């Protein structure tokens, strides 16, 4: 089968022929129709995350926003059949037995295995998946439309739920990219007042098309003042992977407000302890989401209440997608189709 393979960190993926996998017990074989391209894959390729790099055995097939059809089932599979359209996200498998799993936080499972790291991902014509973690996709969604919800969509859904956003709050979303434009829609679903923050008119135009209450250019001299109007945001959801976005978010956050960490800069973030203490700010980390979060995200999307702006490319152009990602040229989410 054809696949895009990582042979060396810092180098482009190679399009080549590799053996077609076969499903083991409890697994299904998925014929991939679409796979979203996540910034996390770029971090892994560039070795920005040492722990992920250490866990990855090269050569490797990345890709964890996968949608396709089940074409074969292994022994012991129940609940899925050949022909079902399913998706596979960041969580390839979770144990169901550790403290986090028992408490409903399987995204933090002690033994979790990550798609594209512990198991081959979706930048290929076929991939194996655990039947327990392959989620059925609403037929209302095309493969390319559905794929980004398996990481970008569920990530911001989980973040908004964890932040306990309520109607009437002022919520600022920093970064109107693949995650940010979905976060803005979810915040609106919760009845909050939305503030979009990004650089450049192109991104702000996207935000305005979504009906946000305010769209603020972070480079404008009055950006901090405009954000702080009315006491500042109750919640700042930072999806932009930049230190500058976090600095501006914390500087303008309402007292006792919540800063939600979603975007992952490659450099370390630095916060002054006195600023956090005197403002009684809450800094909340959010890690992807659970299978239940994913089902709820797909339900919203299937009902037309959540839409992802996608750009589609053939698998052969995957390296150009990453190049465009580095140049910040992708509006929404890139998806490779097979």
At residue 127, φ and ψ (nearest 5 deg) are: -150, 150
pLDDT (tens digit, 9 = 90+) per residue, 22-72?
999 999 999 999 999 999 999 999 998 888 888 899 999 999 999 999 999
Q: How many domains is the chain partitioned into structurally?
A: 2
DSSP three-state, residue 182: helix
Q: Are residues 269 and 209 in the same domain?
A: yes
pLDDT for res 316: 97
| Weakest-pLDDT range from 35-39, 270-274, 332-336 | 270-274
What local confidence, expressed as pLDDT, does residue 256 receive?
96
Same domain (yes/no): 160, 115: no
What was the pLDDT predicted at 230? 85
Angle, vertex CA 284, rays to CA 281 and CA 290, nearest 5: 160
Over the stretch 62-101, which tens digit does the pLDDT of each residue have? Answer: 999 999 999 999 999 999 999 999 999 999 999 999 999 9
Axis-axis angle for helices 180-189, 201-209 (nearest 10): 30
Whether 209 shows a pLDDT value over 90: the answer reads: yes
| The two three-digit tokens of residue 242, written as one number | 């930049």
Same domain membership, residue 143 and residue 6: yes
Phi, psi of 193 (to 5 degrees): -90, 125
Same domain, 175 and 147: no
Cα 10 to Cα 112, 223, 254, 278, distances in angstroms: 26, 36, 40, 42
330 within 8 A of 178, measured Cβ to Cβ: yes
Q: Is the pLDDT of residue 331 over 90?
A: no
Instruction: Indicate if 17 and 125 belong to the same structural domain.
Output: yes
CA distances from 291 to 86, 288, 295, 327 (A): 13, 10, 6, 32
- Residues 185 and 157: their CA atoms lie apart, in Å, by 10
CB 260 within 8 A of CB 187: no
3-state secondary structure of 13: coil
Q: Are residues 124 and 10 in the same domain?
A: yes
Q: How confident is the model at residue 270 (pLDDT cuts 50, 70, 90)?
A: confident
Which CATH number does the domain housing residue 278 bear? 3.40.50.720
- The model's confidence at residue 272, banded by pLDDT at 50, 70 and 90, is confident
- pTM (2 decimals)? 0.95
CA distance 193 to 190: 9
Domain C-terminal end among 254, 269, 285: 285
> Which residue range(s) make up the domain with 169?
154-285
Residues 32 and 125 both lie in one domain:
yes
HSE-up of 17 (CA within 13 Å, CB side)? 0
**pLDDT > 90 fraction of the chain, expressed in percent and rounded:** 89
Could you tell me if 124 and 163 lie in one domain?
no
- Say if residue 243 is in the same domain as residue 313: no
Give the domain CATH number at 139: 3.90.180.10
Residues in the chain: 338
Are residues 103 and 174 both part of a single domain?
Answer: no
Same domain, 12 and 63: yes
Domain shared by 162 and 259, yes or no:
yes
């Amino acid at each position: 089968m054809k696949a895009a393979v990582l042979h060396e960190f810092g180098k482009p993926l190679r399009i080549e022929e590799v053996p077609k996998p076969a499903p083991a017990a409890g697994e299904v074989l998925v014929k991939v129709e679409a796979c979203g391209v996540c910034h996390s894959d770029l971090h892994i390729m560039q070795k920005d995350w040492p722990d992920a790099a250490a866990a990855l055995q090269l050569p490797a097939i990345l890709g964890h926003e996968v949608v396709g059809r089940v074409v074969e089932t292994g022994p012991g599979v129940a609940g899925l059949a050949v022909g079902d359209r399913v998706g596979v996200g960041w969580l390839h498998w979770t144990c169901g037995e550790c403290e986090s799993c028992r408490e409903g936080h399987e995204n933090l499972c002690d033994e979790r295995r990550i798609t594209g790291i512990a198991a081959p991902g979706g930048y290929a014509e076929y991939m194996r998946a655990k039947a327990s973690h392959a989620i059925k996709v609403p037929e209302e969604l095309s493969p390319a439309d559905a794929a980004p919800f398996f990481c970008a969509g569920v990530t911001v859904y989980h973040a908004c739920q964890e932040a306990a956003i309520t109607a009437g709050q002022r919520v600022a979303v920093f970064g109107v990219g693949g995650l940010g434009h979905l976060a803005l829609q979810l915040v609106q679903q919760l009845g909050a007042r939305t503030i979009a923050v990004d650089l450049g008119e192109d991104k702000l135009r996207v935000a305005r098309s979504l009906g946000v209450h305010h769209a603020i250019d972070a480079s404008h001299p009055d950006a901090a003042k405009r954000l702080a109007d009315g006491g500042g945001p109750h919640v700042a959801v930072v999806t932009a992977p930049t230190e500058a976005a976090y600095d501006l978010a914390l500087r303008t956050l309402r007292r006792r407000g919540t800063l939600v960490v979603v975007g992952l800069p490659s450099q370390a973030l630095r916060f002054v302890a006195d600023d956090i203490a005197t403002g009684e700010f809450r800094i909340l980390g959010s890690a992807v989401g659970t299978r239940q979060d994913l089902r709820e995200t797909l339900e919203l999307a299937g009902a037309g209440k959540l839409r992802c702006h996608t750009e589609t490319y053939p698998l052969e152009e995957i390296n150009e997608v990453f190049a465009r990602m580095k140049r910040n040229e992708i509006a929404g989410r890139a998806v490779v189709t097979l």
